Amino acid sequence: MSVAAAAQVLDFTAAERRAVLAHGPWPAAVAPDGSHRAERDPAAAELGRRLFFATGLSGSGGIACASCHQPGRAFQDGRSTAVGLGPGVRNTLGLLDAAGQRWFGWDGGTDSLWAASVRPLLNPLEMGATAASVAARVRRDTSLAPLDRPDDEAVLVAVAKALAAYQATLVSPRTAFDDFRDALARDDMAAAARYPLSAQRGLRLFVGRGRCALCHAGPRFSNGEFADIGVPFFVAGGVDPGRHAGLRALQASRFNRLGPHADDAGAGAVATRHVRLEHRHFGEFRVPTLRTLKHTAPYFHDGSRATLADVVRHYSELDEDRLHADGERILVPLRLTPTEAADLQTFLFTLSQ
């Protein structure tokens, strides 16, 4: 390694290197979903792909899954809020890297990818279908015969599982960060030196003083859980309860991992069985992945931050009085200098192609 190359790589401490390496490798291994045996079945995924782009599943016959989850936008829609994802206030979550998650949606109201596919089908503000209308659509099309079942609800679930099999194939591409992380792992400083110094400084802030990695953890850059980040949950006409409402929906659902439609009832359902509804869940929302975020603006569960600079400013100037008083406090105002804010943004943008 040349002296020039070494000069282009920050002198990360051993602790910083461990924190950086914990965000890979990518793509991450995904455990199979025991509640959905066909999740890795190519034939099921192909049926799901056709259904994902078809409008016929919706009650009106004019809306497809792809209407809101657009491939060119990392399977998001670019809007601040999307109809049906809450009381008119929630941003559309992208679908890349959805397989293998524990909870789904901003409120975690479902515990599998197939159950998360049932939810928008039945929501009158989204696709507005019913089990009967979905079953009728399947039975009219002989090419969908593998999805037919004796009763309508079972057909609905078969359709949702096909949609989930397709979504399970959607994996975000490797990024400049992944190349840097892997270069560090093999001590290839010449390759690591290709990563911009500004991004390296932002990464050091991310895993260090910023404490961002406590929640945006692992290869997905998310711990998969829920948090209050100081965004108001009061909305026109009331509040958006977030995780509190999601847990109620999860516990009441016939489509959770403990229910009759799981292929192996109870598979991977330890968390579902033991969740507890607590007051602190009010106003908590999913910790989203940071991968592909260059393509998924606007940001936060309510789409209230138009740019990444707005997001960084939010954490820099955080209103601590707005955060929950109970539980462990993680977030504090970062009080970033302009250079630090720019470095952090540079790093975050390297998590997208």
Q: What is the DSSP string of 252-319?
A: H-TTSTTSTT-TTTTTT-HHHHH----GGGTTBEE----TTGGGS-SBSTT--B-SHHHHHHHHHT--
Side chain identity at residue 346, one-letter code: T
Task: With beta carbons less than 8 A apart as the criterion, state whether 24 and 185 touch.
Answer: yes
Rounded to an integer, the average pLDDT of 134-157 is 97
Reply yes or no on whether the pLDDT at 3 is more than 60.
no
- The structure tokens 């009158």 sit at 124
| 23-68 pLDDT, tens digit each | 999 999 999 999 999 999 999 999 999 999 999 999 999 999 999 9
Of the pLDDT bands very low, low, confident and very high (cuts 50, 70, 90), residue 326 is low
Of the pLDDT bands very low, low, confident and very high (cuts 50, 70, 90), residue 286 is very high
CA distance readout (Å), 80 to 67, 68, 190, 245, 327: 15, 12, 41, 21, 30
pLDDT of residue 73: 95
Mean pLDDT taken over the chain:
94
Domains present along the chain, CATH in parentheses: 3-27+173-233+289-349 (1.10.760.10), 42-167 (1.10.760.10)
Distance CA 301, CA 312 (A): 15
Reply yes or no on whether the pLDDT at 329 is more than 90.
no
| 214-269 pLDDT, tens digit each | 999 999 999 999 999 999 888 777 889 999 999 999 999 999 999 999 999 888 89
Rounded to an integer, the average pLDDT of 345-352 is 98
| 102-133 pLDDT, tens digit each | 999 999 999 999 999 999 999 999 999 999 99
Reply yes or no on whether the pLDDT at 1 is more than 90.
no
pLDDT of residue 72: 94
